[in-house]
Amino acid sequence: MDIPVELSRIVITETSPQQVIFLKEIGGGQRSFPIVIGITEALAIDRRLKGIEMPRPMTHDLLAQVIEAMGAEIEKIVVSDLREHTFIATLFVRRNGEIIQVDARPSDAIALGVGLETPIFVAEHVIDEVMNESINLAGQRENLQRRRDELIDQIDRLGRYIENKLTDMSPGADSQPLRELQGQLKEMQSELEAIEEILQHLPE
């Protein structure tokens, strides 16, 4: 049985090569889980969600145009399997009444589908595995908690430094260095927020 889900959140942190999207069960269920993806796919998802058009078609835009030109449409996306901690997705493409299944990475499938408002599903056994998985979770949790503690300390020190500099800044002084530091602070806060949410969904 496939469970309908929605893309509930996307977290983009430019200081990290790994980004996070969250899929949440639609309806009565409250199950939600993160999928780690690359920065390129994360930016593509974000751009297509916002309907931002590029001067020339990007990869996912091009693929959508090819599918449409062939007289086909993406019927649904299914996160169909979890193999060695790697999610597997399947695109269900309908053409002339025939369903064609295409193997895909979830990040690419979702980047393509969000621009077309394609429904997303997750196989029930995948959700069950994610919710009950215990292999390497202790190590994952420990690493995330260590990084969270580092970020909390860095954010506190950088925040106090920026506050002191703002207080001491004379009128007309160049504020560009401080704006850059404020940008770094915002990125760290975004990464911390993502880690906190991932920790909430890791089984104890």
CATH number corresponding to 2-132: 3.10.690.10
CA 3 vs CA 34, 78, 90, 123, 185: distances in Å: 16, 9, 14, 6, 38
- Contact predicate 187/13, CB 8 Å: yes
- Between CA 133 and CA 135, with CA 134 as vertex, the angle to 5 degrees is 105
Distance, in Å, from the CA atom of 135 to the CA atom of 125, rounded to the nearest integer, reads 16
Cβ atoms within 10 Å, residue 117: 7
Type of residue found at 96:
N
Q: In a 3-state reduction of DSSP, which class is residue 1?
A: coil
pLDDT computed for residue 137 by the predictor? 55
pLDDT mean by block of 10 residues, the chain; 204 residues: 89 74 83 84 88 83 90 94 88 94 93 89 89 58 81 91 84 79 87 78 58
For residue 174, the model assigns a pLDDT of 72
Sorted by where each begins, the domain ranges of the chain are 2-132, 137-201
Supply the pTM of this predicted model. Answer: 0.66
